[in-house]
Structure 1
Amino acid sequence: MKIWIDLDNTPHVPFFKPIIRELEKRGHSVVLTARDAFQVCELATRMGLPYKKVGKHYGKNRLMKIWGVIWRPLQLLPIVLRERPDLALSHGSRGQILLSNILRIPTVMVMDYEFAEMPWILQPRWEIVPSVMVTGELQVKNRDRVRTYEGIKEDVYAPEFKPDPSLAAELGLKPGEIVVTVRPPATEAHYFNPESQTFFIEFMKRLSETSGTKGVLLPRNKNQEAEIRRDFPEWFKNDHVIVPKRAVDGLNLLWHSDLVVSGGGTMNREAAALGVPVYSTFRGKIGEVDRHLNSQGRLLLIEKVEDVHGKIQIQHRQKNSGDGSSSPPKALQNILDHVENILRIEHPNR
């Protein structure tokens, strides 16, 4: 059958790459669309995914965001009418879900954070979530249409990762340096809490004053990078902190890092999946997945300014070989099986 996948945000690209590959192996065809936002299209191109670029990001303005939610489905409409997919699959694409609900295309949303704001018109028909989330708040209220998978979202693709040593030379990482990857908070997101920005600035001050370290800063967009460079030029003196000139493979950067300090959920969980020490400065509502990782000691939550100095350990770590898994991860298999089962339920005569 034909499955429409929409890439709405940067983390969706590595997540859906193995899903697309395995769905095609199982005989399904995939229609892939991508929003021109953050680094979605750049990363999808680098990963060799044949997508159709539709829509863009509309920034901080709330009215413009609402307009984007309305306008992008209209932009997607010609493609969907031409392709006539049997199922719409995403990791929370509002544009896809809205259009599919109007056209009565069954929607499946894979989700790993229960506090995302979704009005009723944007709620999917089916939801696939990590098993640790099953008792929490979900978008799909009918629990008969909720499916679960083992592990976390990042377990879908992280086990296949193989490190590329050329990244060290590309970024100018020197032997002996403590490499610290830092992701600022999502200041344009609806869930942004200014406290996370306070933690970010406090840590960056500490990092810039710590000798023997190299900070790799990953701003969320060009505007955020420009603001940081304008407000804190001292961080970038003598390349103590750098910003990659192009989109880099996130898993590869994390593997080369000794620790990660991030306000981004996906990057935090990717680090946890790779066994890299990670500290979360996220100060929105903490979801069940992050609470679970925190209870296991795989992710540490920064909850007050004192934690920036007391909890975060700036030190070398022992890197594993990162040879990659030879068989599809369990989380990936779970999701694929659920998608096929949903297809059979929605299209019993096909």
Structure 2
Amino acid sequence: MSRATFAANDAEQSETTHDAGRAIDVWVDLASPSHPFFFKALTDSLTNVKTTVTVREKTETVPLARQVGYEFQTLGKDYENPHLRKLGIPLRTAQLAVKAPKADVALSSRNAMCVLAAKARGMPSIHFTDNDICAYVDGLKAEELYHRLEAQATHNVVPEAFQSEVLTERGADPDSVHTYSGYKEDVYVAAFDPDPTFLDELPFDSEEFIVVRPEALSATYVDANGSLVPDILAGAVERGVNVVYLPREENDRSFADGLPAERIYIPDNPLSGLELSWHARCVLTGSGTMAREAARMETPAVSFFPSTRISVDRALIDAGEIFHSRDAEDILDYVTSISDRDAHPDRTRARRVRREVADLTADLLNERVN
């Protein structure tokens, strides 16, 4: 398993602080697999803070929190059964309200559990989000309520591309909404330190490859009759393109049936998505996160997401940073048109955004403590 590494002393790291003499006690709650990378990069950019971390058991969230170097307490879990999942959220909220650490401020991302627990303890909260769509399926009252509760944080921090009125419609005070230029992926892309030996883990004779990740067809926010992946994989083989294929679910593996293993590589163990994005010729995904990660490190990115796209994805597509299509041939034509100059990653822009987000966070921390 390849590990994404983060620069501990980045020369461009923000030197943020606050006026008080003592350190600010910050509680960070990690509820999903993307959170460890984001919050580790953010908290490492802040000075004079003391961080205490809690983690929910959800897919790889716990091992990823350990991988980035956090010490933490595990509280609550996510359940695969949809009925148990509805019970798991209020149960974990109650656990956090009782067992969460004492702190000056709570930090979370897309996490109503932490926001509510902080309120119950009289603690201000800073909430980061970039998702302005609840779900594709109408009538999911529980999910709508969850997003409305997220918006009740003391402060909501969102990208400029985010439709801020969504938060106010969910009950947020307009003065609680703060924006930054860039995207949340910039924060941890900026802190990423690529491993020059990563390519040794791949079986291809050539160093050139693309990454393919399927749509999340079972998710409530996806409306699709089927996947484009079988056609994309078959077309890549026909064009002599190497593919690192990352199935979401066991059934997704069948999309590669009958295709040559020397062209389509399915890793036995998880590989770092950031390493893949850094070294790939192009990243193709049926969801948003990997496309945004690749785009913000200036690696060519393709989205074949089948449903209504959140505002940050629309902004990146409109800016030409992500190519979007639901036509496999168009996607493969785009992939083969990529030049060596196009496939040249860089983190300079992401570092500027991370400094801005760190400075904004520090200002909000100061406001709550001083």
TM-score (norm 1): 0.84
AA at the equivalent of 2:204: L
Aligned 8 A contact 2:189 2:296 in 1:
yes
CA shift, 1:92, in A, is 0.7
The residue number in structure 2 matching 1:338 is: 360
For the pair 1:91 / 2:115, whether they are aligned, the reply is no
Q: What amino acid is aligned across from residue 31 of structure 1 in structure 2? A: T
What amino acid does structure 1 have at the position aligned with 2:82? Answer: R
What residue is the counterpart of 1:154 in the other structure? 185
Equivalent in the alignment of 1:168: 199
Task: Name the structure 2 match of 1:36.
Answer: 57
Cross-structure match for 1:329: 351
1:183-202 equivalence runs, <5 A = 183-195=213-225, 197-202=226-231
Confirm or deny that 1:145 pairs with 2:156: no
1:18 aligns with 2:47: no
Instruction: List aligned pairs for 1:100-179, cutoff 5 A.
Output: 100-116=118-134, 117-119=143-145, 120-125=148-153, 126-138=155-167, 139=170, 141-175=172-206, 178-179=208-209
Q: Cα RMSD between the aligned structures?
A: 2.6
Verify: 1:277 aligned to 2:300, yes or no. Answer: yes
Return the offset for 1:187: 3.4
* Shift, 1:281, TM fit: 1.7
Question: 2 CA distance for matches of 1:105 and 1:12?
Answer: 21
Q: CA deviation at 1:167?
A: 1.6
How far is the alpha carbon of 1:347 from its aligned partner?
Answer: 4.0
1:298 to 321, 324, 329: 321
- Seen in structure 2, the aligned counterparts of structure 1 residues 13 and 137 have a Cα distance that, compared at 3 Å, is same
C-alpha offsets along residues 288-318 of structure 1, whole Å, 9 cap, x if unaligned?
211111111110122x4xx221243233642
Partner residue of 1:308 out of 295, 305, 328: 328
User: What's the offset of the Cα at 1:280?
Assistant: 0.9
> What runs of 5+ residues in structure 1 fail to find an aligned partner?
none
Cα 1:340–1:162, aligned 2, differ >3 Å: closer, same or farther? closer
CA distance, structure 2, for counterparts of residue 284 and residue 141 of structure 1: 26
Task: Give me the whole-angstrom Cα distance separating, in 2, the residues matched to 1:15 and 1:127.
Answer: 16
**Are the equivalent residues in 2 in contact too, given 1:33–1:52 (CA < 8 A)?**
yes
Residue identity opposite 1:55 in structure 2: G
For the residues of structure 2 that align with 1:31 and 1:235, how far apart are their CA atoms? Answer: 49
By how many angstroms is 1:188 displaced? 4.1
The answer to whether the 8 A contact 1:33-1:54 is kept is: yes
* 1:140, distance to aligned residue in structure 2 (A): 5.3
Structure 1 residue 328: Cα displacement: 8.5
**Secondary structure in 1 matching 2:27:** strand
CA distance in 2, matches of 1:284, 1:136: 21
Cα shift readout 1:53-80 (whole Å, capped 9, x = no counterpart): 2333312x43222112122223434431
Q: What amino acid is the match of 1:5? A: V
Q: Does the 8 Å contact 1:184/1:200 carry over to 2?
A: yes
Residue type at the aligned position of 1:38: T
Structure-1 residue corresponding to 2:14: none
Amino acid across the alignment from 2:202: L
Question: Do the aligned partners of residues 132 and 42 (structure 1) sit closer, same or farther apart at CA in structure 2, a change above 3 Å counting?
Answer: same
Once residues 100 and 236 of structure 1 are traced to their aligned partners in structure 2, the CA distance between those partners, rounded to angstroms, is: 51
State the match for 2:19 in structure 1.
none
Q: Distance in 2 between matches of 1:174 and 1:270?
A: 26
Distance 1:283 1:141 in 2: 30
Q: Which of 245, 264, 282 in structure 2 is aligned with 1:217?
A: 245
* CA shift in 2, pair 1:184/1:311, >3 Å: closer
Residues 302, 324 of structure 2: 8 Å contact kept: yes
The alpha-carbon distance between structure 1 residues 49 and 264, as it changes in their structure 2 partners (threshold 3 A), is: farther
Segment of structure 1 superposing worse, 137-146 or 267-276: 137-146
SS at match of 1:14: helix
* Structure 2 CA distance for aligned equivalents of residues 199 and 328 of structure 1: 31
Pick one of 289, 304, 311 that aligns with 2:312. 289
Shift of 1:192: 2.1
The one-letter code of the counterpart of 1:186 is A
Unaligned runs of 5+ in 2: 1-23, 135-142
Aligned residue among 74, 79, 82 for 1:58: 79
Letter in 1 for 2:246: L
Q: Measure how far apart 1:249 and its partner are.
A: 2.4
- In structure 2, distance between residues paired with 1:210 and 1:68: 46
Aligned length: 330
